[in-house]
Amino acid sequence: AQKITQTQPGMFVQEKEAVTLDCTYDTSDQSYGLFWYKQPSSGEMIFLIYQGSYDEQNATEGRYSLNFQKARKSANLVISASQLGDSAMYFCAMRDPGADTGNQFYFGTGTSLTVIP
């Protein structure tokens, strides 16, 4: 089973609009961490936001917020007021402290976001 599922291979959003990128995860652990990364066409990986499984409030970082729904095991990224520079690949990831494997990091397949002027 996939640890991280991103069901939207590609998304389009109008400049200045908000967009939600979906992410669901699979773990049996109680303590885990969820991340979002941005990968522009230049290839580098840029950390955006982190949510701990015990954090009661949704994480926010500037225009990024993480809609954390623990019971549904979802960790959607919301980008408000989209900018042209937001066009990139977005990866959801999880740090999962498996009993046998220790902390492992799992990434989803990514969502390609295109911001339309």
Taking CB under 8 A as the criterion, the residue among 69, 80, 83, 104 binding another protein is 104
CA distance 94 to 98: 11
Q: Does 64 bind another protein (CB under 8 A)?
A: no
For 81-95, letters b (16+ CB in 10 Å) and e give ebeeebbbbbbbbbb
Nearer to another protein, 25 or 35 (CB): 35
Q: Does 36 bind another protein (CB under 8 A)?
A: no
CA dihedral sign, ordered 17, 115, 59, 108: positive
Shortest Å, Cβ 12 to another protein: 20
- Which residues in this chain contact another protein in the complex, by CB under 8 A? 33, 35, 37, 43-47, 50, 52, 91, 93, 101-110
